[in-house]
Amino acid sequence: MRYGWTLAAGMVLTMSAAYSQAEFRGFWVDGFNPGFHTPEQVDTLLQRVRAANMNAVIVQMRKRGDAHYRSSLEPVATQQQEGFDALAYLIEKAHNETPRIEVHVWVNCHPIWPGGSWPNDPKHILNRYPEVQTEDYEGKRITEVGYGGDWGHPLYHEWFTKVVLDIVRRYDVDGIHFDYIRYTGERWGYNPVSVERFNRRYGRAGKPDPTDPLWKQWRRDQVTAVVRKIYAQATALKPALKVSAALITWGDGPSNTDDWVNRSAYRVVFQDWQGWLKEGILDMAIPMVYYHEGNPRHAEFYRRWANFLKDHQHGRVGVVGIGNYLNSVENTLKQVEFAREPSPSGNRVHGVNFFSYAATTGVGTEEGSRRYEEAFYTALGDYFKEWVPTPSMPWKQSPTGGHLMGTVLKAGDLTPVDGATVEIYQAGSLVRTLTADGNGFFAAVHLPAGAYSLVVRAEGMPAQFVSQVWVAAGMGTNLPILLGEPSAQVVRRVESLSNLPAGTPLALIGKVVVQDWLAPEQPLRVRDALGETAVEVHVSEPALPLLQGDRVAVMGILSQRADGGLGIENAKVRWLGVL
């Protein structure tokens, strides 16, 4: 045989039996190569996936600030067949034909455009908000992956969160999968807004040194904050949704638990995926353990990382990401076999994922990879023998906790309180201490069900006490909090606006957006969560687009419209999330 995979498969039949019940088996399916740009490509993809006895696909629906699905926020990807909703068609075929295939949406997080050009579409984020770009220490803006958003800029934080939650709300996806959820190196992350926030928080001035430990932790915290923000809201919307990420493993693996902080993921690109697993803001970790099996040194790197993952899943699901694009089929199967073996401590991972569906085999370099070889899919099918379901996640099937989240705003003008401290108490005991991000957002995930109270503090402002907040198992509670003295009357229900005279300054908190608001010159319409009466809002300050179902806070002046209805003029609006 061309690749010698028959012998390799025969050697591992005994190990295959250990995974006869449940195991994650997937392909990364990129958006740059043919895979889902047309209905025919989707049909071929799923035929190959089923022939290989896979049970999941991780499909790249956002590459560089574009969309292979119907998006109100970002422009359609150029490779896509005009008018074709790849995600909707893929979900229909994957879920409704036998066997069922899980669909996880892969979103590139940090990269937003290649460095050699500039997007033409005015809808693209670089044309809407060029100020969100990351910079390096010298002020350059083109990273090794092109232009990228900076996690220290609250505007990019919020934009990316909106993009992901829009997918979760509108599509029956099984999971959300982050890629490039990091910075590109130690010298990046110098967006002026992020630097200013850091200096304000810590009483600093000037530009921090790239190796400054506090500045490194700041950038690490900004990445973690967006993972937490999306996890809390997305899994509150859809408790069964699985949140995963493609994770960095550059170089040799950790020699022990303490050695994690010396690895590139944590130290250089500020991706603390071990911390995410411990906190429970990642359901499934898929480290990209891409190493050439034919290189003895790299083969050892692969084994050390795979064993580290087996022993450091922290109660979540670990999946080994295998670089089949670097290897022959025989060597890929060797790596699969090692991934499925227990570690010296007796621990196992929960499956494997292959990079990639398109680049099936290689000879040690990506440039040498071969494309769409049927022998590769057939070899996997022969090795795995039969389809099995993906592994269960008990914290989703039978949850005992829920998520408590909210947004801290200044009562006077709805400005987010960056860095506010939120203390969570149960029965008088402090159980969590949280820090609000640049948009004022905070979240505590997987809190045991029960009653809690909060104390919210910010420098120069009186503390706010919130009592009897109930957290239900498997659900999310969103709690907007106003700090300081209000400058307007807080109105609880839209219906009660008719009792107020025109010209009254007022604030509406936690209202629901009635329909997409994509152009600032158009009026925004909001209603109560449990009501039908809507009020028209004319926004006078810049704001990100809002989508139907979003929750917002609004502050403005009550007015009488020409048609006799009520409206709110000279308004500012703050996005509070989707709950």
In this prediction, residue 367 has a pLDDT band, given cuts at 50, 70 and 90, of low
Distance CA(146)–CA(114), nearest Å, equals 4
pLDDT, mean of residues 171-193: 98
| Helix residue ranges, H only, 12-60 | 13-16, 39-51
- With a CB cutoff of 8 Å and minimum separation 6, the contacts of 135 are 141, 150, 188, 190, 191, 192
Beta strands 534-539 and 524-527: pairing type?
antiparallel
Q: Residue 402 is inside which H or E element, if any?
A: strand 401-410
CATH class of the domain at 5-395: alpha beta
- With a CB cutoff of 8 Å and minimum separation 6, the contacts of 200 are 418
Distance CA(483)–CA(203), nearest Å, equals 22
The share of the chain scoring above pLDDT 70, in percent, equals: 96
As annotated, the residues of the chain forming the CATH 2.60.40.10 domain(s) are 399-483
Averaged pLDDT of the chain = 95
In this prediction, residue 366 has a pLDDT band, given cuts at 50, 70 and 90, of low
Distance CA(239)–CA(476), nearest Å, equals 9
Contact 540, 573 (CB under 8 A): no
The pLDDT, as a whole number, for residue 308 is 98
In this prediction, residue 202 has a pLDDT band, given cuts at 50, 70 and 90, of very high
As annotated, the residues of the chain forming the CATH 3.20.20.80 domain(s) are 5-395
Distance CA(309)–CA(319), nearest Å, equals 8
| Helix residue ranges, H only, 385-478 | 394-397
Contact 90, 35 (CB under 8 A): no
Distances (CA, A) of 97 to 51, 92, 94, 243, 561: 13, 8, 6, 24, 53
pLDDT tens, position by position, 276-318: 999 999 999 999 999 999 999 999 999 999 999 999 999 999 9
- SS3 category, 421: strand
pLDDT tens, position by position, 220-230: 999 999 999 99
For 399-483, CATH number out of 2.60.40.10, 3.40.50.150, 2.30.30.100, 3.30.565.10 equals 2.60.40.10
pLDDT, mean of residues 145-172: 98
- Residue 13 CB neighbours (<10 A): 10
Contact 478, 405 (CB under 8 A): yes
pLDDT tens, position by position, 388-418: 999 999 999 999 999 999 999 999 999 999 9
Burial call 373-410: b when 16+ CB within 10 Å, e when fewer: beebbebbbbbbeebbebbebebeeebebbbbbbbbbb
As annotated, the residues of the chain forming the CATH 2.40.50.140 domain(s) are 489-577
Tokens of 542: 């810049």
Q: Is the pLDDT of residue 2 over 90?
A: no
Q: Is the pLDDT of residue 563 over 90?
A: no
CATH class of the domain at 489-577: mainly beta
